[in-house]
Amino acid sequence: MADNIIELRNLTKTYGGKDAVKNASLNIRRGEFVTLLGPSGCGKTTTLRMIAGFEMPTSGRIIFDGKDITDTPPHLRKVNTVFQRYALFPHLNVFNNIAFGLKLKTIPNGTKVNRKGETVQLYRKYTKAEIKEKVDRVLKMVDLEDYGYRGVSSLSGGQQQRVAIARALVNEPEVLLLDEPLGALDLKMRKDMQLELMNMHRELGITFVYVTHDQEEALTMSDKIVVMRDGVIQQIADPEKIYDEPANAFVADFIGESTILSGVMLEDYKVEFADAVFECVDKGFKKNEPIDVIIRPEDLEILPAGDKKAILTARVISSVFKGDHYQITLIANENEFIAHDTVTCEKGTNVGLYISPSNLHIMHKARIINEIDTEIAGENQVWICGAKFDCVTDLEAGTPVRVQVDFDDVIITDDEEDGTIGATVVSSIYKGSYYQCIVRTDDYYDFFVDTDDDWLKGDRVGINIAPEKILIERREVSEVPADETPAVVDETVTEEEKSAADGADFPAAETAETSAEIPAETEGKGSSEEV
Amino acid sequence: MTSATAVQAKPRKRFKITKRVFAYLYVLFMVLFVVLPLVMILVNAFLDDGGNLTVENFKTFFTEESSLIILGNSLFVGVVTTAICLLIGYPVAYKLSRMSSGKILVLFFILPMGINFLIRTLATKAIFIAMDVTLGMGTVLFGMVYNYLPFMILPLHTSLSSIDKSYIEAAQDLGADRSTVFLKTVLPLSVGGIMSGITMVFIPTISTFAISQLLSNGKIFLFGDSIQTKFDQGLYGVGSIMSLVMLAFVLISNFLMNRIGKNNNVGVGRSLW
């Protein structure tokens, strides 16, 4: 077993019936810099707060250094937190803010034999001189030697940030938790602080658990990134892997720019998308399995038109100067590609495109059809997410059925009132020629929808499905859970349950992978900085 | 051009209704009902019955033992009432600020303030008589606390509920258990509220009248009552002196509270002032 300082086991946190964190399992190794990354509301802060002890998990365990600390109150945990908005005590000056934790701490102070002949461990508080020495040391570390007797409100954002870090570090925690600590700083300051935090991490050798929504920050600083969405861990891997081999379209879309296209895996090492066949390095897919292809903009090679190497011919739509590169938008066989190149291409010209096999990243599709287990509501009507949808069927009311709807047969309406049911847009990912949206109904079923329009995340929309597009199939009644009427199987949940069931070793496998890669990588980082 | 602007400028000057105009009425009110009475008291303090200049009124007040006892009594009742209000009010306000429905529950504490204090005091008296409780210092203090408790809870609640939860979490994170969190963060951060609470209770209590008279059957005479009788008896001079003494106490305590509040409170835990 790896040397894990923190293990999260099937952690779930539910607020008012909604899961903020769902079944999260994660191992954090001693000395690691782990980043929890995801858009706002993905559950990353909740996870951090559960580690700190401010939130009690609804279910699951937190193991710290081999001991279960799930029920331990925060003041007894050997972790310290740097808060998002610092939370420096306004009634204390810098020195006393930092000394706050030290003044409360007791340290072993020899032993004594009591009257019964038992040896008793004695404790004492830090002396004033010891406290002063420790505070001065961390103040020096964060470059604020002369600020000890300033009030905290007179400090700039960056200085407050440093005090907050010093206040946490002075207690010599085994794990430092950082909740978007750089969020309130300006870009320049943020870059400086990133480097400083990385240096501190290397010098102190303690574990950092860092929460951010900034993917660049995560890629720069971390040994291991945990990408979360909707309370679910999407991928756990080191930065290179997260970038080069995202686990799914969400991760790919969230981490860096990329072109995501739908394609078909023809056979091993052969994939078809944008009406062309490409060689790739992936295998083990089913024959003709629909897949998602991810192409990073820097991996797209632009060749002169008619070059023999070119696989696709594309037309240049735009070319925008971005400082150190041009961002070139191209259209090939009605699919949009984004490329980064050091030379510009004239708008309207035709060019050839080539992608080397190793730069094509191929992923299983999360879902190929919307599938709901439900029952017939009446004559030619079926229950879907609490509403009756017209359909074409000769089955009787109450018959349990499985309903299937293709992605492009779900129609989204701008006005919630126009739809049979209402839903909220959860995500929208451009797939070259169309958008794939995920819309969540009020009873938490996620519809995958292919549309021509980009729907704004968070918007309320209506959902309609043409009666003839609802495919109905009789289903065994034993599958229906008794308490759910109408029964709806949330596919995202079943997927997680599956991954939890067959993948108890999934996070472990990932860590094993990172453990092999990280030492080499950190060494590399160290030496490059020495130069 | 110039003549045109001049023509325009003239009527604009005449019809100028600025925000300042709306304050004039208030200034007039203040002059009539605050400044003028104060001047009258000041003048009265130095006049004898015949309208001649004198310092005799000062001598009468500061040599008369009974009036000094009344002043002492008033201060005593004020201090004790404030202390009891703080002791009861702080836990209540703290509890309310931790509750999600605290804002509504606070209304229940404020609600009695909507009923005239004389009516409430008379009702309290009736209850005491019905219960066969002897009216005296105890009942007076009860009436005072009952009347002024909302003035303590309100500023304390405002100040306690404005304390950012992250301070408490930060303290816990740094190893503070519940009592330490309270002593080291919540209490110092609510000093502003405590100070406004004390000011809002202490200053009115030392000048109250009627409550003490009613709830002690006229046995306990406080400063406010004493001023009232002096004016009733036509002793404007002594009455004015006593009013000035009272004013001095109000100003001194207000000043002290502000000083303490400012030193301990770095712009957080908002107070009511």
Local confidence band at A490 (pLDDT 50, 70, 90 cut-offs): very low
SS3 sequence, A338-365? EEEECCCCCCCCEEEEECCHHHCEEEEC
pLDDT score of B1: 44
Contact B190, B160 (CB under 8 A): yes
| Tokens coding A112 | 């004594």
- What pLDDT digit, counting tens, does each position of A336-346 carry? 888 998 888 88
pLDDT score of A184: 79
In Å, what is the CA distance from B140 to each residue of A401, A458, B124, B222?
Answer: 78, 61, 10, 10
pLDDT score of A94: 93
Please report which helix (H) or strand (E) contains residue A500, including its range.
helix A491-502
Q: From the CA of B263, how many Å to the nearest CA of chain A?
A: 10
Residue ranges, CATH 1.10.3720.10, chain B: 65-264
Average pLDDT taken over every residue of chain A: 82
Residues of A in contact with B169 (CB under 8 A): 52, 54, 74, 81, 83, 87
pLDDT score of A414: 87
Residues of B in contact with A80 (CB under 8 A): 173-174
Number of inter-chain CB pairs under 8 A, A vs B:
70
Of A494-508, B33-47, B61-75, B156-170, the range with the lowest mean pLDDT is A494-508
Residues B74-88, mean pLDDT to the nearest whole number:
94
User: Which of A126, A67, A452 minimizes the C-alpha distance to B175?
Assistant: A126
Of A201-205, A325-329, A429-433, the range with the lowest mean pLDDT is A429-433
Tell me if chain B has a CB within 8 Å of the CB of A66.
no
pLDDT score of A481: 44
- What pLDDT digit, counting tens, does each position of A400-435 carry? 888 888 888 888 888 888 888 888 888 888 887 888
The whole-angstrom separation of Cα A471 and Cα A353 is 40
- Given B174, B189, B265, which is nearest A101 (Cβ)? B174
State the fold for domain B65-264.
MetI-like fold (1.10.3720)
| Locus of tokens 């300051």 | A189
- What pLDDT digit, counting tens, does each position of A386-403 carry? 888 888 888 888 888 888
Of residues A250 and A64, which shows the higher confidence score? Answer: A64
Q: Is the pTM of this model over 0.90?
A: no
pLDDT score of B14: 64
Residues of B in contact with A85 (CB under 8 A): 166
Residues A321-332, mean pLDDT to the nearest whole number:
89
Give contacts of B 197-226 with A, CB under 8 A.
none
SS3 sequence, chain B? CHHHHHHHHHHHHHCCCCHHHHHHHHHHHHHHHHHHHHHHHHHHHCECCCCCECCHHHHHHHHCHHHHHHHHHHHHHHHHHHHHHHHHHHHHHHHHHHCCCHHHHHHHHHHHHHCCHHHHHHHHHHHHHHCCCCCCHHHHHHHHHHHHHHHHHHHHHHHHHCCCHHHHHHHHHCCCCHHHHHHHHHHHHCHHHHHHHHHHHHHHHHHCCCHHHHHCCCCCCCHHHHHHHHHHCCCHHHHHHHHHHHHHHHHHHHHHHHHHHHHHCCCCCCCCC
Q: From the CA of B163, how many Å to the nearest CA of chain A?
A: 11
Q: Do B177 and A73 touch (CB under 8 A)?
A: yes
Q: Do A100 and B184 touch (CB under 8 A)?
A: yes
Q: From the CA of A75, how many Å to the nearest CA of chain B?
A: 4
Residues of B in contact with A106 (CB under 8 A): none
Local confidence band at A477 (pLDDT 50, 70, 90 cut-offs): low
pLDDT score of A212: 93
- What pLDDT digit, counting tens, does each position of A143-177 carry? 888 888 888 888 988 899 889 999 999 998 999 99
Residues of B in contact with A88 (CB under 8 A): 170
- Given B166, B175, B264, which is nearest A87 (Cβ)? B166
Local confidence band at B262 (pLDDT 50, 70, 90 cut-offs): low
Q: Do A91 and B172 touch (CB under 8 A)?
A: no
pLDDT score of B149: 92
Local confidence band at A248 (pLDDT 50, 70, 90 cut-offs): confident
Q: Do A104 and B268 touch (CB under 8 A)?
A: no
pLDDT score of A524: 38
- Given B169, B177, B184, which is nearest A87 (Cβ)? B169
